[in-house]
Chain A
Amino acid sequence: AQKVTQAQTEISVVEKEDVTLDCVYETRDTTYYLFWYKQPPSGELVFLIRRNSFDEQNEISGRYSWNFQKSTSSFNFTITASQVVDSAVYFCAIRGDNQGGKLIFGQGTELSVKP
């Protein structure tokens, strides 16, 4: 079985601060996939990134970066120079090997960026 823990329930920062959202996962599969989704106040779920277990390279996309460390079973998400538009709930998720359609999500972290 897969499990994702996002220990930070709520984070509040001031605009332009950097912020890291933590994600710790559990799985017995050798092959698995990790994801981050964003849910802005409007409610839709927006895909941010997916990563397979064989690719531990960090990823950077604009102000967003992701740090995948198998040694600590973590897949943390950093927003650099945060903006008010980054305010949202962020979900980390995992999919095991041969588990099509079966993403397991963490509890989510609500990020509030204040001007």
Chain B
Amino acid sequence: NAGVTQTPKFQVLKTGQSMTLQCAQDMNHEYMSWYRQDPGMGLRLIHYSVGAGITDQGEVPNGYNVSRSTTEDFPLRLLSAAPSQTSVYFCASSYYTQGAGEKLFFGSGTQLSVL
């Protein structure tokens, strides 16, 4: 049972480069999200999706694009990397149960450095 798989685990970019962080889940969850974690800032929501073909912006969406063509995959694209995007990125998938609410399953994270 793979759960939520994020790749790569580490990445170094130069300013202006583009790249895609991959996220895949095999639990058939309807919801998927991307967060970034910075010291003293907690986890901040970048983008999220409530199903294939549906995405929306979170708290800090600028500089990032997402798409959700399948239920399983939710890639995060950095169009032109900036040093301010140096962070640890977490992908999550989740499902909702009436009354109990939602439970997020997180990937293991991607450490991204932009020089």
Bound form: Cα–Cα A107–B38 in Å: 9
* Interface residues in B17-65 (C-beta closer than 8 Å to A): 30-33, 35, 40-45, 48-50, 56, 58-59
Q: Which residues in B have their C-beta under 8 angstroms from that of A95?
A: 101-102
Question: CB-nearest residue of chain B relative to A55?
Answer: B99
Q: Does B104 contact A (CB under 8 A)?
A: yes
* A-B interface contact total, Cβ < 8 Å: 71
Q: Which residues in A have their C-beta under 8 angstroms from that of B90?
A: 45
Number of interface residues of A (CB under 8 A): 24
Which of the 9-residue segments A14-22, A64-72, A74-82, A97-105 touches chain B? A97-105
Question: Which B residues are within 8 Å of any A CB, using their own CB?
Answer: 30-33, 35, 40-45, 48-50, 56, 58-59, 88, 90, 92, 94, 96, 99-106, 108-109
Q: A9-B40, A47-B105, A101-B48 are in contact. List 15 more A-B contacts (CB 8 A).
A: A43-B108, A47-B103, A52-B99, A95-B102, A100-B30, A100-B31, A101-B32, A101-B92, A102-B33, A102-B48, A103-B45, A103-B92, A103-B102, A107-B40, A108-B43
